[in-house]
Structure 1
Amino acid sequence: MLEPFASARLRYRPLGPPDVAGLFALDSDPRVLRYLGTPPLTSIAQAHAALARTADAYRAGAPARWAVELRATGEFLGWAGLKLNPGPVNGRADFIDLGYRLLAPHWGQGYGTEAGRAWLAQGFGPLKLPLVTGYAEAAHGASRRILEKVGLEFINLFDAANGTPHAWYEARNPALAQ
């Protein structure tokens, strides 16, 4: 497993019990969930359950999301990271997905791009992953721009299980290129 690490303005560490209030704030905000197709959390117990699922992934040694906090203050901004997605999504299964979710007051400050770049570097460096993918609702321009800025290449549009158009992105590890 990776050790906690940092980028210019952010620190990344495994999510834990102290993050439950931040996770609830994040996933109970309809603005944050607008393009995700999931209903907002309505109880702190749901945030505890989400945290327990992440802890299970950590114990299994699977890639999972980590907390993102400001280096200067330790303030919880949300989460980012790589995650093993069993799929199927866009005809694929068992792929590594780059994701990020930040509290609305922290949008538009480049934190998503910084976190995405940091996690792509972890995926291609210490984790030696051959391929990292990402996807976003086609109408979610901000998230798509982040995927492109961090180095993922647009591959295709596809309809998600709910029929909503999504954009699929991929990046291959340059150190493993033949």
Structure 2
Amino acid sequence: MTNLILETERLLMRPLELTDAEDMFTMDSNPNVHKYLWQKPYQSIEESIANIEYVRKQYETNNIGRFATILKETGEFIGWTGIKFVTEEPENGNINFYDYGYRLNEKFWGKGYASEATLAWFDYGFNKMKIEIMNAYAHSENGASNHILQKSGMRFVESYLDKEGILWNWWQMENNQL
């Protein structure tokens, strides 16, 4: 698992490493990045380190997780993308499900990278992992993320309130190859 690398025309997706902590902190300390993520930007690099360690444990436990997403042309860390198996805290009343997600550094928004990575992950998840159903959720007001999920083939299922009363959109895609 930890040797998995996905590539697209412009992107390389590889397991997160502790050496990504500084780049992750730069991304996650930006309030704009957290506008639709409970508005809690990171305050210290230790939060990024803890997050990377948490994700690396998911690689071992679930054989999948969020991956560092790198711009091939420059080698820059643009954020993370990937599939997570949600086992700890229910989302929209669901537990033990595959969730697709991503987070990009603001300077890489609007360039099609999220869409490119999403299609690569859907291909991997459905064709290699044989996932039956992929879910995703996005803040109801995050037009860009909701658009990407829709144009990537996901179906809007419902809106729901999280435990903090924030409205989210729940998306789903079924594997039609099975």
The residue aligned with 2:155 is 153
Code of the aligned partner of 2:5: P
The question of whether the paired residues in 1 share the 8 Å contact of 2:62 and 2:85 is answered with no
1:68-79 equivalences under 5 Å are 68-79=69-80
Distance in 2 between residues matched to 1:63 and 1:109, nearest whole Å: 26
Kindly state the Cα deviation for residue 61 of structure 1 after the two structures are TM-superposed.
3.4
Distance in 2 between residues matched to 1:149 and 1:98, nearest whole Å: 14
Distance in 2 between residues matched to 1:116 and 1:5, nearest whole Å: 11
Distance in 2 between residues matched to 1:56 and 1:28, nearest whole Å: 23
Aligned length: 176
1:68-147 equivalences under 5 Å are 68-86=69-87, 87-147=89-149
The residue aligned with 1:3 is 4
The residue aligned with 1:36 is 37
Kindly state the Cα deviation for residue 38 of structure 1 after the two structures are TM-superposed.
4.8
Kindly state the Cα deviation for residue 62 of structure 1 after the two structures are TM-superposed.
3.7
Consecutive unaligned residues of structure 1, counting only runs of 5 or more, are: none
Distance in 1 between residues matched to 2:31 and 2:124, nearest whole Å: 30
The question of whether the paired residues in 1 share the 8 Å contact of 2:118 and 2:152 is answered with yes
The question of whether the paired residues in 2 share the 8 Å contact of 1:62 and 1:83 is answered with no
The question of whether the paired residues in 1 share the 8 Å contact of 2:31 and 2:39 is answered with no
TM-score for both structures, normalised by structure 2: 0.95
Distance in 2 between residues matched to 1:161 and 1:119, nearest whole Å: 28
Secondary structure of the residue aligned to 2:159 is strand
Code of the aligned partner of 1:66: F
How far does the alpha carbon of each residue in 1:18-73 deviate from its partner, in whole angstroms, 9 at most, with x for none?
A: 21111111111110011011511111111111111111111223421000011112
Consecutive unaligned residues of structure 2, counting only runs of 5 or more, are: none
Code of the aligned partner of 1:144: N
The residue aligned with 2:47 is 46
What is the aligned-residue RMSD (CA, Å)?
1.2
How far does the alpha carbon of each residue in 1:107-146 deviate from its partner, in whole angstroms, 9 at most, with x for none?
A: 0011111111111111001111001000111111111001
Distance in 2 between residues matched to 1:91 and 1:148, nearest whole Å: 22
Distance in 2 between residues matched to 1:158 and 1:17, nearest whole Å: 34
The question of whether the paired residues in 1 share the 8 Å contact of 2:18 and 2:53 is answered with no
Code of the aligned partner of 1:68: T
Kindly state the Cα deviation for residue 13 of structure 1 after the two structures are TM-superposed.
0.3
TM-score for both structures, normalised by structure 1: 0.95
Distance in 2 between residues matched to 1:16 and 1:126, nearest whole Å: 23
Percent identity of the aligned residues? 36
Distance in 1 between residues matched to 2:62 and 2:174, nearest whole Å: 22
**Following superposition, which runs of at least 4 residues in structure 1 exceed 6 angstroms of deviation?**
none
